[in-house]
Structure 1
Amino acid sequence: MEPHLGSITRDLINHAMTYQAYRELIDKLLAENKTTGQNHSEAYLDYTRMNVQRMNRWDKTAKVSETMREVVEAITEDQIWLVITEAWCGDAAQNIPYIIKLAELNPHIQVRLILRDEHPEVMDEYLTQGTRSIPKVIGMTADLTCELFTWGPRPPSAHEQVMEYKRDSKGLSYKEFSGTLHLWYARNKNQELESELLPLIQSTVIQ
């Protein structure tokens, strides 16, 4: 039997998407007035269109600190970072481009993406407080014998804002709250995401 991590098998990795393929899929679906998953409402299409703009912006502007660069470049063993996502997810659009920037620094890192709703068996092994929150990143050895780290669905400050909104919306519509959350992302410029990922990635470096 081939090595695997729960529901993460070699076949799943082989059929998972590159970031470029993920972006091309989103563009293709939007051209057909669709998004990923089953909900193709105008609201979800609007989320997806906005997310394309966010990813375009971060693809161009996301910066990696020198400290993080040194840590990522120190990785000497092959790794796979599997990302669970959906095109309509705002947190995914805000965080995935930076993760891609990290992986591009080291050929030992291979990033692959899968859609949450197409792989519930994987998602259900990486729940956040019992919910299927995304994005979720699972770092693992390339032979699928060892899980190295997990991250997601969002940096701590953003997550606390989401939890607080769920506890008490204070009369804000979801659209109003979402605007506040994405303004936080724009101002934070991936700094909190980096501080959270740094020790996780550092722990995978063989000394």
Structure 2
Amino acid sequence: MTEVKAVQITRDLIENAYNYREYREMIDQALSEGKTTGENHSEAMLHYTKMNVHRMSRLDRRTELLDELKKVAGSIGKHQTWLVITEAWCGDAAQSLPVIQKIADESSAIHAKYILRDENLEIMDQFLTNGKSRSVPKLVCLDSKTLDVLGTWGPRPEAAQKVYDEWREEDLPYQQIAEKLHKWYAEDRTESIQTEFIALLQRWSLN
């Protein structure tokens, strides 16, 4: 998780951001036109995006939230806006966004909205991973009333980030890292992200 920083996120930006249904529909529409999000519409990027649609659909259907997470999410009083920076071709986003949305759906106080990284680099650059990487997804939790930043999460669960960093240190090819990472997600079955959000929700509700 990155250090919390002050950032100028406007109500207009939030109002014009996608909700989850709109985000999914936008991706489907782009694919129907032979495109993905961003500027790179290569066969490889289209393949990643199609795979991600399948991943999100599977997680939308199968993800069951932990009872403790449901309880914590349902007890939040102060309204929060979760602004999620993402891209359709991003595998980590596909593994996390369905869970994030299910958490938001558990609480009338949480409002999740989605924006594309490459269309909002001035926002992205204020929430870099390790101060240098435009890694997505990145969730920015805002006080809905003041738009103060309460915290961030992303681009992946801490346990996944740890093994990802180790694989990078080993200088493994990108494709091999991606395959190993998706295997990690499959074996984890969303447990890590759910456990992290129990602690995050408790922390953010106190800010």
Q: TM-score, normalised by structure 2?
A: 0.92
SS at match of 2:54: helix
Matched letter for residue 109 of structure 2: H
Matched letter for residue 94 of structure 1: Q
| 1:144–1:47 Cα change, 3 Å | farther
What are the within-5 Å matches in structure 2 for residues 149-168 of structure 1?
149-168=151-170
Q: Does the 8 Å contact 1:75/1:206 carry over to 2?
A: no
Q: Does the 8 Å contact 2:83/2:112 carry over to 1?
A: yes
C-alpha displacement at 1:205, in angstroms?
3.0
Matched letter for residue 23 of structure 2: Y
C-alpha displacement at 1:157, in angstroms?
2.0
What are the within-5 Å matches in structure 2 for residues 135-146 of structure 1?
135-146=137-148
Between the two proteins, what is the percent identity of the paired residues? 44
> Which residue does 2:191 correspond to in 1?
191
> Which residue does 2:180 correspond to in 1?
180
> Which residue does 2:93 correspond to in 1?
92
Between the aligned partners of 2:158 and 2:28, the Cα distance in structure 1 is: 30
Between the aligned partners of 1:145 and 1:26, the Cα distance in structure 2 is: 28
SS at match of 2:152: strand
> Which residue does 1:204 correspond to in 2?
204
Matched letter for residue 190 of structure 2: N
Q: TM-score, normalised by structure 1?
A: 0.92
Structure 2 gaps of 5+ residues are 1-5
Count of residues paired in the alignment: 201
> Which residue does 2:81 correspond to in 1?
80
Between the aligned partners of 1:79 and 1:131, the Cα distance in structure 2 is: 26
SS at match of 1:82: strand
Between the aligned partners of 2:126 and 2:87, the Cα distance in structure 1 is: 17
> Which residue does 1:21 correspond to in 2?
22
Q: Does the 8 Å contact 2:138/2:152 carry over to 1?
A: yes
Structure 1 gaps of 5+ residues are none
